[in-house]
Amino acid sequence: MVTDGGKKMGLLGASSLVVANMVGTGLFLLPSSLASVGSISLFGWIVAALGASALGLVFAHMGMVEPKAGGPYAYARDHMGAFPAFQTNFLYWVANVIGNVAIAVSVTGYLAVFFPVLKNPWIANACTAGIIWLFVWLNTRDARAVGHFTAISTVAGILPIAFVGLLGWFWFRPDVFAASWNPEQLPTITAISRSGAIALWAFLGVESAAVSAGVIENPKRNVPLATIIGLLVSTAIYISCCTVLMGIIPGAELRISGAPFAEAAQVMLGPWAAVIISLAAILKASGSLVGWILITAQSAEAAGRDGMFPHRFSLTNQQGMPVQNLIVTGAMMTLMLVITTSPDVATQFAHITDATVVLMVLPYLYSVVSMWRLNREIDMSAGKVRLYIVIGVVACLYCLSVVLGQGAELGRKALLILLISAPLFALIKKK
């Protein structure tokens, strides 16, 4: 947590943090993952947007009524008890460590446009490891430096991408879009569920402002505003860009593309446009990685102060940043990078993101339950209480559909991690 003398980020920085964390690798590589389902995934986007909006309203409400550093972990701790809080932080931390690797991998994927040698998986891994540790170092600076970096990278990275998302419609071909509608001939419900589950990756980060309340100025005002602003901006960008890409690049090519936006830009305006878009992707994903490393460290820092994680996770430097926590996070990311080594960036990205979204479901569910319990304790009209019950139910249904949309093997692995949390909790609490 930032000390009183530390520099905190304002509304612009907080909103940029949310957008940077949501519109990161999801924007640049998610179209490749969704292409395996087909352009029928447009319906999945609608379902995902509704579910993410419900989650966004949950975190906006919690941030306005009870802003706390740690976000989902802090809410579970105060309204559900020690074990749910530990589970929340453990799963949230593991999921974010895994997800951060996907972001770093995407940076390398677009760097390969300039350095083809990075298409070798092990050389690519070495580059990705260097990227990870560069941004771990940046996060040892004060929170305002992180906020400034994410703000600059968000604007510089999104503007060229927005250009493709808007002007790409002039190159949109309905026949290309229709040809990749449902390549695997999945039942409609299955295709929507699967694509909606994949699309949750796009909306991970909607809780970013709530988690970072401790480093945001005037959190009761800025946390909910940043959450809503970030959600609206990100949703509009995602749906427009992913849909237009599926009408420019044939599905068979899009499924294996490691730089889909660069390929679309080349079709539109030629090789020079692909270079500009690749640079934008690198800058944008870099800002996203910086922001997510901060979110991961903030959540673990709050747990370290409460004895839910080792105490070292809560120790901070003169700038108020948890250095030892960040080093452990960087080491875990590097290990995960090696474990998930794949023949190509698109495959590695898909494996990592599938695991991340499943692990994030329980922390989101606990946040909804915490909101319901909090609303019973504060002065709120019966109508508003019922409204937030409905919002919470929509959010829960979406989270459950995400689990149903994943494969059985991944579900078993996620359950194993969930079960491991029980003995770990006992050991840490005893210590």
The model's confidence at residue 15, banded by pLDDT at 50, 70 and 90, is: confident
Distance between CA 103 and CA 94 in Å, rounded? 15
Mean of the pLDDT values across residues 103-130? 84
Residue 430 has pLDDT above 70, yes or no: no
Closest CA to 40 of 242, 202, 258, 267: 242
Distance between CA 64 and CA 374 in Å, rounded? 12
**Bridge partner residues of 216 (DSSP):** 9
0.85 exceeded by pTM = no
- What pLDDT sits at residue 5? 43
- What pLDDT sits at residue 65? 80
| Per-residue pLDDT reduced to its tens digit, 178-201 | 888 888 888 888 888 888 777 777
CB 242 within 8 A of CB 34: yes
- What pLDDT sits at residue 113? 79
Sign of CA dihedral 180, 185, 186, 189: positive
Task: Please indicate whether residue 147 or residue 310 has the higher confidence score (pLDDT).
Answer: 310
| Per-residue pLDDT reduced to its tens digit, 262-305 | 888 888 888 888 888 888 878 877 877 887 787 777 777 877 88
Residue with tokens 């909090």: 374
Query: What amino acid occupies position 214?
Result: G
Closest CA to 406 of 101, 141, 201: 201
CA 8 to chain centre: 22
- State in Å, rounded, how far the first CA of the chain is from the last one: 23
Task: Please indicate whether residue 79 or residue 355 has the higher confidence score (pLDDT).
Answer: 79
The model's confidence at residue 160, banded by pLDDT at 50, 70 and 90, is: low
DSSP-derived secondary structure letter, 314: G
- What pLDDT sits at residue 346? 61
Mean of the pLDDT values across residues 197-212? 72
| Residue 9 DSSP SS3 | strand
CB 261 within 8 A of CB 113: no
How many other CB atoms sit within 10 Å of the CB of residue 172? 14
DSSP string, 246-308: HTTS-HHHHTT-S-HHHHHHHHHH-HHHHHHHHHHHHHHHHHHHHHHHHHHHHHHHHHHHTTS
Distance between CA 16 and CA 298 in Å, rounded? 17
Residue 2 has pLDDT above 60, yes or no: no
**117-121 CB contacts, 8 Å cutoff, 24+ apart:** 119/258, 119/344, 121/341, 121/342, 121/343, 121/344
| Per-residue pLDDT reduced to its tens digit, 338-356 | 877 766 666 666 667 677 7
Distance between CA 357 and CA 127 in Å, rounded? 25
Residue 306 has pLDDT above 80, yes or no: no
